[in-house]
Amino acid sequence: MLLTGGVGGNVNQFSSIRLGLQFVSAKGWAVGYDYDLLQNVHSVNVGVRLFGFDKK
């Protein structure tokens, strides 16, 4: 389980602060939820592993 966050905007305006949670499975898929505090927008995210790194 990961706690995620992000900020965003453009050169003229700061317009986004996001907080969320993400679950990453051992099989390589992920599902998460984000909420944008400034825009009052909810989002659900899904993902799959594209490639892995060797653990040394």
Domain ranges of the chain: 2-48
Report how far residue 13's alpha carbon sits from residue 19's, in angstroms, rounded to the nearest whole number: 19
| CA pair distance 54, 46, nearest whole angstrom | 23
Which two three-digit tokens encode residue 6? 């992000």
Quick: pLDDT tens for 1-56. Answer: 999 999 999 999 989 999 999 999 989 899 999 999 999 999 999 999 998 778 77
Cα–Cα dist 4/29, whole Å: 16
The whole-model pTM stands at: 0.77
